[in-house]
Amino acid sequence: MAVDKKLENALPEGFVVKSGKNIYRVVKVLGAGGFGITYKVIRQDGVVFAMKEFFRNELCERDEAQTISYLKSNKSTIETGIEDFITEAGRLNKQSISHPNIVSIYEVFKANNTAYYIMEYIAGVDLLHYIKNNGNKPLSLEQAISVMRPILQATSLLHKNNITHLDIKHENIILTKEDDNSLRPVLIDFGLSKHYDNKGKATSTLTAAGCTDGFAPIEQYSGLTEFTPEADVYALGATLLYLLSAKWPAKASDITTQQIVEALPFDIPEDTRDAILKAMRKDKGDRTSSVALFASHLGVDIDFQAGEGSVTHLLNIGGDTTPIKINNFRKPLIYGVIALAVIGGAIWIINRPKPTPSELLTEAIK
């Protein structure tokens, strides 16, 4: 099987990254995009995290020591990108934007001639694979709303802090199992997020031109320099459309009102259909202007205290999704076991094995 080119330059399993305060060992690659690579890592005390690395795949290379290098002609682009990467991640951390449905960021640092940030590791399955694992069957309206309600609230909190996510989609919402077997949807991957000042001007130079076809609105393809909550509203509408249809939406420049209507189940209430149509209008001036207004159109109340309504009891996933803790950090044998546990899943999360890596690890240790 061909290896994704974006993964060819990923750090190898077992590689150690030092932040100055902590030591993180790479367990496996979780995913990669044009702006960075995300890993599952273990800190020296055995706690598992996710680590995002700034890596411009088309502009960067690695040497044998895994230090990033680039041409002098790309120096300004890379160095500006690294600073923006640190600023955006650090702002989420420093502003203490704490919400049960937003991934937590714990540490931001430079190493290996690039930058990293350490996030909460969310053990579970993203919405894309949840649908695929259930026979590509769409969710019922009640199920879909129960998943989207806390994500709407989380996004609204970001907007109140002048931050847009700019990459909301089915793959960036993880369902993780709670102690009572409910599922908590968590918004992850802030690699494209942007902060704006009180005048709506971007506080970093990153134009967030990275886009996911089907979920990014038209205006995002040319880059956003002003506060545009309507971009996240479009993505939320597209995500809800996916949950109700189990079909990847067409690119914003191509999708039509008729395609949206035909993708939705025939028995969807008119108010819900209209809410999605308004949220996904091509012209942002005609689009639903805020998350609160989108929620209102859906008949959803997002005006509740953080922690309330943060889970859904209407969905379930099999297997153990408890984050792994490994105590003997320095023993190579443990990493041999990890390699066995995650075999078949380390190349790309799309090939997520059954049973889960956590189950395989538990069995291997036994």
Contact 148, 170 (CB under 8 A): no
Packing angle between helix 270-279 and helix 291-298, nearest 10 degrees? 160
- pLDDT the model gives residue 52: 93
β pairing state of 16-18 and 194-195 = unpaired
Q: Give domain 5-121's CATH superfamily.
A: Phosphorylase Kinase; domain 1 (3.30.200.20)
- pLDDT the model gives residue 318: 65
Query: Cα(327)–Cα(44) distance, rounded to whole angstroms?
Result: 8
- pLDDT the model gives residue 9: 83
305 contact partners, CB below 8 Å, separation of at least 6: none
- pLDDT the model gives residue 311: 93
Per-residue pLDDT of the chain (366 residues; tens, 9 = 90+): 445 666 788 999 999 999 989 999 999 999 887 778 999 999 999 999 999 999 988 888 888 889 988 888 889 889 988 988 888 787 777 556 788 999 988 999 999 999 999 999 999 999 999 999 999 999 999 999 999 999 999 999 999 999 999 999 999 999 999 999 999 999 998 878 888 889 998 887 655 457 899 999 999 998 888 999 999 999 999 999 999 999 999 999 999 999 999 999 999 999 999 999 999 999 999 999 999 999 999 999 998 654 467 999 999 886 444 444 444 444 443 344 334 343 344 434 344 444 555 554 445 443
The pTM (predicted TM-score) of the whole model is 0.78
- pLDDT the model gives residue 352: 44
Tokens of residue 8, six digits: 């060819």
- pLDDT the model gives residue 209: 58
63 contact partners, CB below 8 Å, separation of at least 6: 69
Task: Locate the domains of the chain by residue range.
Answer: 5-121, 125-298
Strand ranges of the sheet holding 36-43, from the earlier edge strand across to the other edge? 16-18, 23-32, 36-43, 48-54, 114-120, 105-111
**How far from chain centre, in Å, is Cα 313?**
22
What architecture does CATH give domain 125-298?
A: Orthogonal Bundle (1.10)
Instruction: Please report which helix (H) or strand (E) contains residue 43, including its range.
Output: strand 36-43
**Do the domains at 5-121 and 125-298 have one common CATH topology?**
no
- pLDDT the model gives residue 36: 87
Tokens of residue 165, six digits: 């996510």
- pLDDT the model gives residue 331: 42
Measured CA distances, 174 to 91, 103, 364 (Å): 22, 10, 26
Measured CA distances, 327 to 22, 169, 365 (Å): 15, 35, 13
- pLDDT the model gives residue 272: 98
- pLDDT the model gives residue 206: 59
**How far from chain centre, in Å, is Cα 214?**
16
Tokens of residue 343, six digits: 């075999």
Maximum CA extent, the chain = 59
Contact 235, 127 (CB under 8 A): no
β pairing state of 163-164 and 125-126 = unpaired
